[in-house]
Amino acid sequence: MAAVLPTADLAAHARPQDFEILSLAESLGAQVVGLDLSQPLNAQDFARIHRAHLDHHVLVFRDQRITPQQQVDFSRRFGPLQIHVLKNFLLAGNPEILVVSNILENGQPIGLGDAGHFWHSDLSYKEAPSLGSLLHAQELPAEGGDTLFANQHTAYDALPEALKERIAPLKAEHTYLAKYEELRARSPWRPKLTDEQVKEVQAVIHPVVRTHPETGRKALFVSEHFTTRIVGLAEDESQALLEELFALSEKPEHLYRHAWLPHDMVFWDNRSVMHLAAGTPDHLRRKLYRTTVEGDTPF
């Protein structure tokens, strides 16, 4: 019986694949067609995907018939994976995967059904926020369920120079708890957090404008879901500035709206984009699997 090679060894022996990378929108986004992620990628193919991710910020891998473990293995090529604080929605056997779903079984939710209700960058409330997230479609509704992405590089670039100068030195507080009770009051998907879970999501401070660690480009790094205040400003001034930045960061010219197709896997860069769930009708089922790659401390 042949020995099972580790993932790194499999990649080293992988054959090149013939695939295309095609832009989806002027603002951001590209689709990867013809790539099979059930097979390990060799170094050249992986480097091409990595470059495309930096260039387009959102990659849509079409028709990926992969297992949860294969999703985990591919995700780990980009770095260590982060485990979500809501442990009850982690996939059995693959705790690196958060189940994103509105499905109830025996009256109980099987996943996080209101994920993405507000614009946000995943895990910005961590000292080392996410590099990127990968979301793989398992079950899609006949209507609804789109995901919107907002390019925060172009949002920053479009700011008036005076506003850029004003926010350049500023820092903001991010916390997972910012809207948790508001969401908990309206849905069955937000359990009361234990003391241990609350300790896991202590508030952090990050720059309002972050520099992408791989490309050097500047991006806005505030969101309506997790950013609560600008450090050092009076409450009214802080809220007014945040509302102004939120509105500018979500303008239509910075957006790509993804309409999901069966077996899509979408990989977005949390250092350069925010995202929002457009919503799914309550009577239609939706289930996706999310892995999240750890990034580094924003600067």
Predicted pLDDT at 3: 40
Residue 150 has pLDDT above 50, yes or no: yes
What pLDDT does 181 receive? 85
Domains and CATH numbers, the chain: 7-294 (3.60.130.10)
The yes-or-no answer on residue 286 being catalytic is no
Mark whether 77 is an active-site residue.
no
Each residue's pLDDT tens digit, 100-147: 999 999 888 999 988 888 999 999 999 999 999 999 999 999 999 999
> What pLDDT shows up at residue 7?
54
For the segment 7-36, the average pLDDT, to the nearest whole number, is: 87
Rounded CA gap, 89 and 112, in Å?
6
- Average of pLDDT values for 269-282? 95
**Residue 231 pLDDT:** 98
DSSP string covering 163-216: HHHHHTT-EEEE-TTTTHHHHHHH-SS-PPPPHHHHHHT--EEEESEEE-TTT-
Mean pLDDT of 146-167: 98
Enter the tokens of residue 81: 């994976």
Mean pLDDT of 51-66: 98
Active site residue 9: no
Confidence (pLDDT) at 184: 82
Global pTM value: 0.92
pLDDT at 5 over 50: no
DSSP string, 226-246: TEEEETTS-HHHHHHHHHHHH
pLDDT 10s digits, 177-233: 988 888 888 777 788 889 999 898 999 999 999 999 999 999 999 999 999 999 999
pLDDT grade for 9, boundaries at 50, 70 and 90: low
Q: Which of 45, 73, 114, 122 is catalytic?
A: 122
Q: Are 52 and 31 in contact (CB under 8 A)?
A: no
Q: Are the C-beta atoms of residues 85 and 197 closer than 8 Å to each other?
A: yes
290 carries an active-site annotation: yes
Determine contact, residues 122/282, Cβ cutoff 8 Å: no
What is the C-alpha to C-alpha distance for residues 173 and 28, in angstroms, rounded to an integer? 27
Q: State the catalytic residue, choosing from 57, 117, 120, 212.
A: 120
CA atoms of 254 and 113, how far apart (whole Å): 26
Residues 63-76: what's their mean pLDDT?
98
The identity of residue 79, as a single letter, is: G
